[in-house]
Structure 1
Amino acid sequence: PGRLLAPLDLGAYAIGATRLQVVGAPYHRNNVGNLAVYRFFLGQPDQGVTVAKTWQLRYVALRADDFGGAAAGTLAEALKRGAPPPWLRRIPTRERALFLYRVQGGLFPKQPAR
């Protein structure tokens, strides 16, 4: 269980194939979540960490052909070339064209004890 941020069309598959919550999927009424996906992947890594904190992400997924025209310096480009920021750790998959990352613990503030 946890929350996944992935490109919109991949998010739709994750809803049906996993127990994960997704931030964005190709549904027109999820403007806030869908915009967060684009800001995450097409922004700088420091913008990505803000999105990760806001949405309390556990996982990030991206395929090799997603955001093909992403500019140098964007988080999508860094992830696809295997240079994630320190707050993301690659999870090996059998599918070579799928990049799966786990958001590192300690990124989010601890919840107060009850």
Structure 2
Amino acid sequence: MAKMLMYAAGERPVAEPIAGSRSVARAVAFIEASFAQPVSLAMLAATAGLSVSRFATLFRQEVGISPHRYVCLVRVRHAQALLRNGVPPSVVATEVGFFDQSHLGRHFRRTVGVTPGDYVARPSLVSC
């Protein structure tokens, strides 16, 4: 169902199921539902019912990456879908919660390995 993305060493694919505590599961569900809005660590910790420091530690232990990085990966995953559907990168950036196209480009390149423009221009990448 979900498409697999390329990730930096030590990161888990977003599509991989996350087994762990209910607290982290609630935060992950919140991220998946609210990725396009500003998502703060304090918001996520409150959703999980934990202190900020405890939440950040538990999230990293269970998911393998920081909450911020996970939010960025979810945004990039959704950006890929929009780009595949022909939405321009400048529109995609704001639709998925990045500040601007440059912000999208930085995170997209770090995650996927190419810029959003190259991703659309190379059909072999889009069909992954």
Same-fold status (TM-score > 0.5): no
TM-score by length of 1: 0.36
Query: Which structure: larger Rg?
Result: 2
TM-score by length of 2: 0.33
Task: Select the structure that is richer in helix.
Answer: 2
Task: Select the structure that is richer in strand.
Answer: 1
